Amino acid sequence: MRRKIVAGNWKMNGSKDLSEKLVGSIRFEAESLDNGVEIVIIPPAIYIGDVLKQAQGALSVGVQNVGQWQSGAYTGEISSDMAKDAGCRYVLVGHSERRQLFGETDELVAAKVSSVLFSGLVVIVCVGETLEERESGQAESAVSSQVRTGLSLVAQGEWQNVVVAYEPVWAIGTGKTATSDDAQTMHAAIRSVLKDMGAPADEISLLYGGSVKADNAAALFAEPDIDGGLIGGASLVAKDFVSICRYFPAGT
């Protein structure tokens, strides 16, 4: 059975006060969940300690980005070893905002994935097509290329620490979302690519991201190849975020 994961990416939002109130509320609400969903909080790195304090082991914690190096003269960077030392379990790599705003390439994503796995952490690798690629019929080929290159350095024994998040770029922060059918089609295509790469594709969790909210989560999570969500704006409101987590029925 694949892991069911709902991860909240705070992006560049947060404060010590928010960390205390929001994470405490999420932890309290999560105690009543009985559907086996792993809840992951991914705050700005500077608030990891505050989030861990409130999570109290009931919630997993991740970091939004790491460098491809483990140490050295790289001012402003943090390594996956540092993230692990701080108490993180997950690392987000290759988010579309990192690709678009900071010029991260598939090759750089691959190097970061390798570093994260070397540290023994779980990597959530983000892939997704632009509106132009979708409208020109290149969506699947674009995403396939990101998967193949971004995961090209994963060794056979490391796949258990790989999660893939499909986030259509045109749906991130826009209020638009892919239909559940569209999302399922792409998730199935990603799983097919993973299988072609020799990965244990049926064991790898695939998440959907891109304006996931309480009113569309049920339809998305009901699809056979969607194993959870990478949540942006809704993860900053405890009630909304926990509502999304509840859409996995017990025993799935």
Residue of 97, 133, 158, 167 with catalytic role: 167
Give CA–CA dist 252/244, Å, rounded.
Answer: 15
- Long-range pairs for 137-144 at CB < 8 Å and ≥24 separation? 139/168, 139/186, 140/186, 140/189, 143/186, 143/189, 143/190, 144/189, 144/190, 144/193
Confirm if 106 and 114 have CB atoms less than 8 A apart.
no
In sequence order, what DSSP letters do the residues of 34-75 get, joined into one string?
Answer: -S-PEEEEE--GGGHHHHHHHHTTSSEEEES---SSSSSS-T
Residue of 38, 95, 104, 187 with catalytic role: 95
Confirm if 199 and 154 have CB atoms less than 8 A apart.
yes
Give CA–CA dist 24/235, Å, rounded.
Answer: 13
Cβ atoms < 10 Å from Cβ of 251:
8
95 catalytic, yes or no? yes
167 catalytic, yes or no? yes
Q: Beta partners for 91?
A: 63, 123
Q: Tell me, what amino acid is at 78?
A: I
Where in 130-204 does DSSP place strands (E)? 162-166
Give CA–CA dist 94/107, Å, rounded.
Answer: 10
* Site of tokens 């999560």: 30
Give CA–CA dist 177/247, Å, rounded.
Answer: 17
**Residues with active-site annotation:** 95, 167
